[in-house]
């Protein structure tokens, strides 16, 4: 281990965990949050303000995918150091990637951007063959909430399935990558490759956790959406607790 505290381990092997660990990841996120709740609220609020602030500015919005891995890595670093040193997370932890691993994390964001463009380009090309103009209009209307869920033909169903698979693929190569860069010293491509392996080895707990978080989001949005103030930090910390379990870097209980 370096003086900076970064773990050096280039032989990272993600493990397969039982489906029930999907709930364990969420429970661990709650535990980490409530241990230092106001500090986590601050860090997550600053993170979201930066990301949404960039999105509101037309030109700067284009660099949001490059900035996001830096902040995700910062949250992972804060959670890791908070558990390791038994201290509260601090705001400078969020910006650790501005001092180290900056280029690698930007590389993760750049590769994610390029990959997304390729996937969307392929889907757009396939859409011309699989989906009729009427189905495209119906899909857009359903997405905007101005129309019902459309009845699609065989080509439309296939297109939607390919779209979901494309989004899952992009999420799988990205989900663990920032954590692997900042905590395991991996390069961008290697981090994304291992992230892909870890995600699909654990698709069952991922699915369970996704369903639980979706149900929590529905419940949290009922009382004037006040519950989302709590759930957003939990969702952000969930990203770290997944990593900690799958890669054997458990937060202390």
251: left (phi over 0), alpha (psi -120 to 50) or beta: beta
Distance CA 93, CA 78 (A): 5
Dist CA 120 CA 117 (whole Å): 5
183 confidence band (pLDDT: 50, 70, 90): very high
Q: Residue 154's pLDDT is what?
A: 79
- pLDDT tens per residue, range 110-136: 999 999 999 999 998 988 888 777 777
Return the pLDDT at 148. Answer: 73
First to last CA, the chain: 22
How far apart (Å, rounded) are the C-alpha atoms in residues 35 and 28?
Answer: 11
pLDDT at 160: 83
Does 253 have pLDDT greater than 90?
no
Cβ–Cβ under 8 Å, residues 122 and 166: yes
Phi and psi (nearest 5°) for 221? -85, -10
DSSP conformation letters of 20-61: THHHHHHHHHHHHHHHTHHHHHHHHHHHHHHHHHHHHSTTGG
Reported as a pLDDT band with limits 50, 70 and 90, residue 248 is: confident
Q: Which of 4, 188, 42 has its CA nearest to residue 102?
A: 188
Find, among 198, 150, 158, the residue nearest to 175 by Cα.
198
| Domain spans, the chain | 22-246
* Banded pLDDT at 149 (limits 50, 70, 90): low
What is the pLDDT at residue 25? 98
């Amino acid at each position: 281990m370096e003086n900076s505290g970064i773990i050096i381990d280039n032989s990272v092997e993600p493990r397969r965990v039982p489906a029930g660990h999907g709930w364990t990841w969420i429970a661990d996120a709650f535990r980490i949050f409530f241990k230092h709740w106001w500090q986590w609220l601050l860090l997550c609020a600053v993170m979201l303000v930066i990301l949404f602030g960039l999105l509101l500015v037309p030109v700067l919005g284009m660099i949001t995918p490059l900035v996001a891995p830096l902040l995700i890595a910062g949250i992972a670093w804060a959670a890791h150091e908070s558990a390791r040193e038994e201290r509260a997370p601090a705001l400078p932890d969020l910006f650790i990637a501005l001092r180290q691993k900056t280029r690698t994390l930007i590389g993760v964001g750049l590769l994610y951007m390029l990959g997304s463009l390729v996937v969307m380009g392929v889907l757009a090309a396939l859409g011309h063959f699989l989906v009729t103009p009427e189905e495209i209009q119906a899909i857009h209307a359903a997405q905007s909430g101005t129309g019902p869920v459309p009845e699609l033909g065989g080509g439309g169903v296939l297109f939607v399935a390919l779209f979901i698979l494309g989004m899952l693929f992009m999420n799988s190569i990205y989900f663990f990558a920032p954590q692997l860069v900042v905590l395991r010293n991996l390069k961008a491509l290697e981090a994304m490759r291992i992230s892909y392996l870890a995600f699909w080895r654990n698709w069952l707990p991922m699915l369970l956790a996704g369903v639980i978080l979706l149900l929590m989001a529905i419940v949290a949005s009922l009382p004037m959406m006040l519950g989302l103030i709590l759930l957003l930090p939990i969702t952000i910390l969930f990203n770290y607790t997944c990593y900690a379990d799958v890669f054997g870097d458990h937060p202390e209980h």
